[in-house]
Chains A and B, each alone.
Chain A
Amino acid sequence: MGARSCEPVAAITGLGFSQMSRAPIGTVRELAGTAVLAAISDAGLAPADIDGLLLNKSPTAAAEELPLLLQNDLGLRDLGLLAAIDSEGSSAVQMVQYAALAVRHGMARAVACVFSDTPVKSGSAGDTFAIAMPLSGIEGWEQQQGFLGAVAGYAMAAQRHMAVYGTTAEQLGAYAVACRQWARANPMAFLKKPLTLHDYLASPFVVEPFRVLDCCFPVNGAAAVVVTAADRAADAPLPPAYIHGMGQGHRGRNGMREDEPELHIGAVQAGRIAYRAAGIAPSDITQCQFYDAFSFAGIVSLEAYGLCPEGEGGRFVADGHTAPGGRLPVNTGGGHLSGYYLQGMTPISEAMIQVRGLGGERQARNDIVLVSGNGGCLDYHASLVVSPHRGLG
């Protein structure tokens, strides 16, 4: 362990959800408002106490679906901080980071951060996400080639990992099975039916090497948190999550063969910076809450965040280390695959539940929790190191 930081940057003191459903339950804006009010109440605050608001819409939603006008919907006046964060899947973690910096430096005292999305239209979200990712560098190219959806981009990256490191379908499946085992103990999880590796291997392909069970489970809904200064956090009715480290890593692409953006990702940088700030090493982390919209994203995150050797994420998962009873619990609520897909708010919300010790049967050791956000096709990364302990020393 390195030298520990004495004082956290800030704290997360409130967590709130809207209803979550596969059916239409309201607009993005309405759901966001519900989640923000729930988070404010959970933090033991009133709307009048909130002087910062950060918004995160899905990359597939139009900007006007989650406007700055949410401020007025909620009657929030004289905000010292108001912005929409638009860094794809890393946005929710980034919101918490900017909120933490703002409260640390006196721009605001209590900042609400919200993600809201309604991707499930008429029973399926498949078409919502069938948007071409700009992976080759020419706008319109993937569309012209019929290469559609984040699922295709991540499937391409996963197959590259399989070719270079020998990662197998059974290892991808082990990740999905472990997440389902966790989800079974999460009352909020959507997919709780027992899942075996055999069931996984028998499930249909969407884009090979991904089967449907490698993909996130989209829901309509919103989640929000409230961030305050660390010295105010003890006043909150429930235990806070102290933020000890924050990092980002956006590696960029040059489009050349040796670049390998499928294997070398900015999460390495996001982790290194967060660990240094928290004064910890990867081996100090007691559980992870990853942004894992696809099984492979969880596996490659284990490697990039230094929790297992490069190329060995699949084996690490297949050996059972991330499952219930394993030495490094990962995505204890079921994550995106079996829990609920609220993009970056899924790992943040489960981290809050775990830090508070409210995980029930799925509660894992919560001393040092790594939270990640991941956007684009492994392009944009942000991380938090959080803990129920005000000091990590």
Chain B
Amino acid sequence: MTMSYPGAHDRIFLDFIAAGELRLPFDPATGQALGLHRRRAAAEWRPAAGTGTVLSFTVTRRQYAAAFPVPLVHGLIALDEGPTLIARILGAAPAEVSAGMPVRAGFDSHGLWFGPCQARVAEEPSHAAA
């Protein structure tokens, strides 16, 4: 549970997210995307397609933070480029979320979220998308 301080790698990723863009580090030698745990100064940050697959998901029912009303759905998302990350899933009721579901990235005031590929999601969807 120990947090360390964000370094350049973390700031680059978060700054792109703040600008409404999902970018991933790529190895310039191989052209392959790097997992976000790797910290390589030589990485090239390229735009991601923003599409992926839900590997797993959770539904938070206990309210931990006022900014995140419950029920709050998160997915472990495998991006099509290969890296994984955890992010909110909006635009689907908790019961509609399943492993294997294709999702697409969107942005709101908290930053990145994912929703079902086919779903029509408003610009600022409710977090309690139940």
Contact = CB atoms under 8 A, between A and B. Distances in A.
Contacts of B84: 136, 255-257, 259
Interface string A327-347: 000000000000000000000
A170 B65 CA distance: 30
A208 B82 contact: no
Given A152-B60, A256-B82, A257-B84, A139 B1 contact: no
Contacts of A157: 56
Contacts of A255: 34-38, 83-85
Nearest to B60: A207
Contact of B62 (A139, A141, A206, A258): A206
Contacts of B2: 59, 86, 88, 134
Interface string B13-25: 1100100000000
Given A156-B56, A207-B60, A208-B61, A141 B85 contact: yes
A126 B86 contact: no
Please classify how large the interface on chain A is, using the bins under 10, 10 to 19, 20 to 34, 35 or more.
35 or more
A53 to B, nearest CB: 22
Contacts, number: 151
Main secondary structure of the interface of A (DSSP, over half): loop
A262 B86 CA distance: 13
A159 B1 contact: no
Contacts of A145: 74, 86-88, 110-112
A88 B1 contact: yes
Given A136-B86, A145-B88, A163-B56, A207 B62 contact: yes
A146 B61 contact: no
A178 B67 CA distance: 37
Given A144-B17, A257-B84, 14 more contacts: A134-B2, A136-B85, A138-B13, A139-B6, A141-B14, A145-B111, A146-B72, A146-B88, A159-B56, A159-B58, A208-B61, A252-B37, A255-B38, A376-B1
Interface of B: 1-7, 9-10, 13-14, 17, 34-38, 55-62, 64-65, 67-68, 72, 74, 76, 78, 82-88, 94, 98-100, 110-112
